[in-house]
Amino acid sequence: MRPTRHAALLCLVLLGGCTGAMAPTQPPSLPASLQGGAAIPGRVAIANTAQVFGQPASVAGQPVRAANAISQLEWLTVDILTSQNFVNLPPTVPGALRQARDAVRQAFGVVPDTTPQAAVNAFDGAASALAGGDRAAAQASLATVTGPAGAPRALDLLSALPSIPAAASGTAIAVNGLATMDQRNFR
């Protein structure tokens, strides 16, 4: 092996150790709210989550929209690391989204080691149940990631989404990062 190739491999190994929790995992399935034709669902998720978490009062009394935004954020946090659509995003965006997701999880009482897929399933399930008027099913869905004791509180929070500064900031950073990427790509 040539020295430069050996050095490049060593750098990759060392950089891999620096990513820690940011290492991509298997992307969760696309949230139900993003299915239906968007060419690049990640762009839709960035816009939706920034609007919802940036202005939580705009979804007051609309628990389906809040649940959809949480599901989208869970999916987006992993997708942004693996999608070829976002390889030119500024490097601050993935970490900002992870912090946003972690803050939302904390606010809703989601168990810390919950997988992104489990969270997508839980909040998608809650959104679907709420759209059908079934609060008990929504609560049962949320209990899969909050535990039975935390589900009633999480369900109530969907109707009165609190201000979560890290979520507002992280999703705003994603919007700005997307604009920066687009400017670079279209020069």
User: How far apart are the C-alpha atoms of 74 and 185, rounded to whole Å?
Assistant: 26
Q: Which residue stretches of the chain are H helix? A: 3-19, 41-54, 63-82, 92-108, 116-131, 135-146, 151-159, 165-185
* pLDDT reported for residue 186: 74
Closest C-alpha among 119, 103, 93, 112 to residue 56: 103
Task: Report DSSP letters for 143-184, one per residue.
Answer: HHHH-TTTHHHHHHHHHSPPP-HHHHHHHHHHHHHHHHHHHH
User: How far apart are the C-alpha atoms of 45 and 166, rounded to whole Å?
Assistant: 17
Alpha carbon distances (Å) from 36 to 9, 28, 41? 41, 17, 9
The pLDDT tens digits of the residues spanning 90-135 come to 999 999 999 999 999 999 999 999 999 999 999 999 999 999 999 9
* pLDDT reported for residue 27: 79
* pLDDT reported for residue 26: 74
Q: Which residue has the tokens 């904390």?
A: 106
Q: Pull the structure tokens for residue 167.
A: 């979520």
Angle between helices 116-131 and 151-159 (to 10 degrees): 60
Centre a 10 Å sphere on the Cβ of residue 66 and count the other Cβ atoms it contains. 27
pTM score above 0.75: yes
* pLDDT reported for residue 4: 41
Q: Which residue has the tokens 């979520």?
A: 167
Q: Residue 74 in contact with residue 80, Cβ under 8 Å?
A: no
Q: Taking residues 142-162, report their average pLDDT.
A: 98
Res. 25 pLDDT band, cuts 50 70 90: low
Closest C-alpha among 47, 84, 76, 74 to residue 178: 47
Residue 16 reports pLDDT greater than 70 = no
* Sign of torsion over alpha carbons 61, 56, 38, 140: negative
